[in-house]
Amino acid sequence: MDYGMIGKIEKAKRYAEQRDRIHVEQLQVRFDGDHGPHTVSFNAGAWTCDCNFFLSRGVCSHTMALERILEGMLPAPAELAPH
Query: Rule CB under 5 A: which residues touch Zn ion?
Result: 38, 49, 51, 54, 60, 62
d(CA 6, CA 48): 39
CB of 18 to Zn ion, least distance (A): 29
Residue 47's nearest CA partner among 32, 68, 28, 31 is 28
Contact, 27 vs 12, CB < 8 A? Answer: no
Q: Which is nearer to Zn ion, 62 or 74 (CB)?
A: 62
Q: Which is nearer to Zn ion, 68 or 83 (CB)?
A: 68
Tell me how many degrees the CA angle 17-22-24 measures, rounded to the nearest 5.
135
Q: Which is nearer to Zn ion, 36 or 82 (CB)?
A: 36
CB of 52 to Zn ion, least distance (A): 8
